[in-house]
Amino acid sequence: MADLLLLLLRVLCLCSVVPLAVAAARPGNVTIGALFTFNSVIGRSAAAAIDLAVADVNRDAAVLNGTRLSVVAQDTKCSGFVGTIQALQLMEKKVVAVVGPQSSGIAHVVSHVVNELHVPLLTFAATDPALASSQYPYLLRAARGDDASQMAAVADIVAFYGWRQVAAVYADTDHGRGGVDALGDALEPHRARIALRAPFPPGAGSAAMADLLVQVSLAESRVIVVHVSPDSGLAVFSAARSLGMMAAGYVWIATDWLAAAIDSSSSSSHPANHPKSTMGLIQGVLTLRRYSPDSPAKRALAMASRSKHLNAYGLAAYDSVWTAARAIDAFLADGLDVTFSDDPRLQAEQSGSNSTLRLGALKVFDQGPRLLEKLLLSNSTGITGALRFGADRSLVDPVYEVLNVGGTGVRRVGFWSNRTRLSLAAPDTKKNGSSSQQGLYSVIWPGETTATPRGWVFPNNGRPLRIGVPWRTTYRQFVSKDGTSPDGASGYCVDVFKAAVSLLPYPVPFSFVLFGDGEKNPSYGDLVSKVANDEFDAAVGDVSIVTNRTRVVDFTQPYVESGLVIVSPVKEKNPNAWAFLKPFTGAMWAVTGAFFLFVGAVVWVLEHRFNPDFRGSPRKQLVTIFWFSFSTMFFAHRENTVSTLGRMVLIIWLFVVLIINSSYTASLTSILTVQQLSTGIQGLDGLIASAEPIGYQVGSFAKSYMMEELNVPESRLKELAIDDYASSLQLGPHNGGVAAIVDELPYVDLFLSTNCQFKTVGQEFTKSGWGFAFQRDSPLAVDLSTAILTLSENGDLQRIHDKWLNPGQCDGATQGADVTAAADRLNLGSFWGLFLISGVACFLALLVYFARILCQYGKYKLAGGEPPGEDDPSSSSSSVSPERKPPVRRPERLRSIRELMTFVDMKEAEVKRAIRRKSSDDGRRQPDRSIASSAGASSFSVSTV
């Protein structure tokens, strides 16, 4: 038993020692690789940063716990081919991770290698947005921000200053093309675009660079975005300076390569130490720099690397080494081994080939997926900020400084982040990037000016603007061909355009090109399409601003208000002796007359017992009812109402009469004074409901509007020249003409000014205007809009209008308000509510009145009263005379109804006196009956005795 216990103790001790031995079995050395171009601005900074980072990691006992970190660097020599070979050689040395490469092109190739060998790749300088694709799971972007984020910053700067187009100068590489594509995507939401792409081949000389910039100088845009490498970028500005392109009016925006070149060219952080030759090339340029928040670690690194020329890329390389070291430490802490194994595919390829390539030396890192997992879970703080990867395997929260080069240094004018966009203060990531100060500080632009450049000029290639002008054949005063004019065109629209151009602060060369065949008015939709297709630079004329056109071109501010109106012929008024009956329909007259009589009868019933004016002989009472009924129409009735119910009914009825009288008067006035339409079309609703043909002007958008918006069938639409308007309307729809014409208000005004027999009906059913059409994103459209507003304010626009568009002998379309339809009569549907209120009031009054009558009649019967009549006992003697026959006995029901009707006809005062008299008589009879009873008893006693 003792031996068994001893054995168990030994087993337990052995189990407790084994984990300690495993945990202590860390490798003595772990190797990582580094890929970059040694002799480059980024490479020199990265080499110094990586050496400092490895030294700091090995110096810190809390990292790697005794394991030494070593680095193997390979020079890619800025070549995709050499970089691939160097990457393969690096993998032969069994590295567990690779820092680099700096080139996006090499990163694309090397990513395929690390995918197969399971070696994580931490790139600190490759900024191509395509590298974030899921195609490269082992590539992590250890730099804060890529070309997508910094191009978003550039686009926000462009939008902040209101520029609409830029020219892009870039190296024709994966890095350059990817960045410019990202710039185009970022500009699109701001309605801006890349007007010119100017790529140059890698290694281009100064002559090739100058030729390229000459093309840029001939372009319209003066906002130039430069996206190149730090090693070749300054050559762009050197050529630009020699061509005079660093003068006032130009805008140069460089991506973060320029800040890296400036930082690397200084022997210290003080801006006064920048070489004057370098700073003299880039005066007034805006550039971006990856933002690194100030911290004690950053200051300590700056002190340790004062002669190392560290830039933002070097700081990212420094943090990349630390990120890899911490992930390796977590990897080893889990007890994982650093082991490599052969790839069977590479072994088979090597054995079956006579090649001297050592493919078999490439090993697969067995625990690569686990180390990649540790890297993706990194969450620490480095020199550049938080070291935490997002879902796209890039560091989160990219922030850029916006720098302005001036004098011997650079000046920070703002910040950009994907949360705050442009801001004056550094975004606080702890507060979710909130910042209340939006925008940028003032900038000193090229030419040492603080005025914001316009950002564009007319191209210096000698070609004036091609302005399409419609060749109108009718109403030439708007715009048409003019052989006597040096411009070849004249008219109201042409003069407005020339006046607006004269107000611009810069010259605008242009030439008019007539559009049309001179036989009929051209299609304005086709004219706008030619502007959108770059056949014309702009269109000047009576071009309406409609929705489908604004989708393809940009319009200026409208210089003429317009809209579609309906023109219809008008017939002369004929005298009519019975015109006074027209305001009301037959049903309206019948119901109104019936209600006059009904209300008069109700008032008579309510007033009959109280008011002597409503009593008398049957003939007199009938006349009173008729007189009182119709006299209320004129509020001239002489009979006064005394009952409460009668007054209530009369007040409501007088209100109804007031409304009817007012409506009748207004309708009759309109019928007797306005002109009448000869067709049933009296507005938009009648136009749609009618089945008659409708005319429209040749080339007008009215056809498409009526078909698409109003659903008018094409078979009803008839194309007309303005000269045919009058004849078509006079013929009418049944004689080959049209019932109405739909056209724009300016044309209709001119037409009606000389054709008084036609008028507009209804209201304008579209609100638009005429404007000058330009190609999309043309800055000239904005400037001309401002000029048109100036013309309107100073009165020049009205003077041009009066010069060309003089009115004729008619008042024009303003007479349209005097036109109505003959069938516009008042019907019962407009007044049934008033009649209902009056009828309900009468019914309720009668109900209350008869309820009171029945109640009073009951009291009267209980009091013993009998209405006077032939059957009244009080009217005959107590004994029947032998000479007279006894009265005929009627049925009890008929007798009761007759008594009730007789009671209703009695005066109210008589009924009350009768009730009071009966009550007093009953009071006097009660004592008499008592005396009589006593007397009777005495007599009975005496007689009995």
Q: In whole angstroms, what is the distance from residue 174 CA to residue 180 CA?
A: 10
Q: Name the DSSP letter for residue 434.
A: B
The answer to whether residue 643 scores a pLDDT higher than 80 is: no
- Predicted confidence band of residue 812 (pLDDT cuts 50, 70, 90): very low
pLDDT of residue 806: 73
Mean pLDDT of the chain: 80
pLDDT of residue 529: 94
pLDDT of residue 695: 92
Least confident of 46-55, 130-139, 160-169, 645-654: 645-654
pLDDT of residue 505: 82
Q: Which residues lie across from 412 on neighbouring strands?
A: 403
Q: What are phi and psi of 220, to 5 degrees?
A: -75, -40
Q: Which residues contact 725 (CB under 8 A, 6 or more apart)?
A: 567, 695, 741, 751, 755, 758
| % helix, strand, coil for the chain, step of 5 | 50, 15, 35
pLDDT of residue 634: 66
Residue 490, helix vs strand vs coil: strand
Task: For 33-83, write each residue's pLDDT tens digit.
Answer: 999 999 888 999 999 999 999 999 999 888 888 889 999 999 988 888 888
**Section 615-639 average pLDDT:** 68
Q: Which residues lie across from 74 on neighbouring strands?
A: 35
Could you give the dihedral angle defined by the CA atoms of residues 834, 839, 608 and 626, in that order, rounded to the nearest 10 degrees? 60
| Structure-model confidence comparison of residues 615 and 427, the more confident one | 427
Residue 324, helix vs strand vs coil: helix
- Predicted confidence band of residue 883 (pLDDT cuts 50, 70, 90): very low
pLDDT of residue 151: 94
Q: What are phi and psi of 45, to 5 degrees?
A: -70, -40
Domains 29-143+295-347+359-394 and 465-562+774-806 share a fold: no
Q: Name the DSSP letter for residue 674.
A: S
The secondary structure element, H or E, covering residue 499 is helix 492-502
Q: Please give the angle made by the CA atoms of 924, 930 and 933, to the nearest 5 degrees.
A: 135
Q: What are phi and psi of 412, to 5 degrees?
A: -80, 125
**Section 701-706 average pLDDT:** 88
Q: Name the DSSP letter for residue 522.
A: P
pLDDT of residue 945: 28
Q: Which residues contact 766 (CB under 8 A, 6 or more apart)?
A: 563, 564, 705
Task: For 107-125, write each residue's pLDDT tens digit.
Answer: 888 998 899 899 999 999 8
CATH number of 677-767: 3.40.190.10
Q: In whole angstroms, what is the distance from residue 931 CA to residue 921 CA?
A: 17
**DSSP secondary structure, 265-286, as one string:** T-SSS-GGGS-HHHHHHSTT-E
Residue 881, helix vs strand vs coil: coil
Is the preceding omega at residue 612 within 30 degrees of 0, hence cis?
Answer: no
Long-range contacts of 74-79 (CB under 8 A, 24+ apart): 74/33, 74/34, 74/35, 75/36, 75/37, 75/38, 75/39, 75/43, 76/35, 76/36, 76/37, 76/100, 76/101, 76/102, 76/103, 76/106, 77/37, 77/38, 77/39, 78/37, 78/40, 78/103, 78/231, 79/106
- Assess contact for 201 and 191: CB atoms under 8 A: no
Task: For 832-878, write each residue's pLDDT tens digit.
Answer: 888 888 888 888 888 887 777 777 666 666 555 555 444 444 433 33
Please give the CATH topology (third level) of the domain spanning 29-143+295-347+359-394: Rossmann fold (3.40.50)
Structure tokens at 258: 């320029």
- Assess contact for 492 and 801: CB atoms under 8 A: yes
Of all residues in the chain, the percent with pLDDT exceeding 90 is 30
Least confident of 43-57, 454-468, 708-722: 454-468
Residues in the chain: 945
**Domain ranges across the chain:** 29-143+295-347+359-394, 147-294+399-423, 465-562+774-806, 579-673, 677-767
Q: In whole angstroms, what is the distance from residue 756 CA to residue 813 CA?
A: 10
- Predicted confidence band of residue 152 (pLDDT cuts 50, 70, 90): very high
Residue 762, helix vs strand vs coil: coil
Beta-strand (E) ranges in 739-825?
740-744, 758-761, 768-770, 773-775, 819-820
- Assess contact for 819 and 677: CB atoms under 8 A: yes
Give the CA count within 13 Å in the CB-facing half-sphere of 502.
8
Q: In whole angstroms, what is the distance from residue 922 CA to residue 434 CA?
A: 100
C-alpha dist (Å) from residue 400 to 65, 430, 720, 802: 36, 17, 63, 57
Task: For 736-787, write each residue's pLDDT tens digit.
Answer: 899 899 999 888 888 888 888 888 888 888 888 999 999 987 888 888 999 9
Q: Where are the alpha helices (DSSP H) in 273-388?
A: 276-281, 296-304, 312-333, 344-351, 368-376
Q: In whole angstroms, what is the distance from residue 243 CA to residue 767 CA?
A: 50
pLDDT of residue 676: 53
Q: Where are the alpha helices (DSSP H) in 92-146?
A: 104-117
Closest to 474 measured CA to CA, from 513, 515, 512, 519: 519
- Predicted confidence band of residue 908 (pLDDT cuts 50, 70, 90): low
CATH number of 465-562+774-806: 3.40.190.10
Question: What's the one-letter identity of residue 218?
Answer: L
Task: For 542-568, write each residue's pLDDT tens digit.
Answer: 999 988 899 999 999 999 988 899 998
Q: For the purposes of burial, counting CB atoms within 10 Å of the CB of 507, is it exposed (0-12), middle (13-18) or buried (19 or more)?
A: exposed
Q: What are phi and psi of 285, to 5 degrees?
A: -80, 140
The answer to whether residue 820 scores a pLDDT higher than 60 is: no
Question: How big is the chain by its Cα radius of gyration, in Å?
Answer: 51
Widest CA span of the chain, in angstroms? Answer: 178
Q: In whole angstroms, what is the distance from residue 185 CA to residue 676 CA?
A: 61
Q: What are phi and psi of 512, to 5 degrees?
A: -85, 135
Q: In whole angstroms, what is the distance from residue 287 CA to residue 403 CA?
A: 5
- Assess contact for 221 and 194: CB atoms under 8 A: no
Q: In whole angstroms, what is the distance from residue 139 CA to residue 393 CA?
A: 8
Highest CATH level, class, for 147-294+399-423: alpha beta
Q: Name the DSSP letter for residue 137.
A: T
The answer to whether residue 23 scores a pLDDT higher than 70 is: no
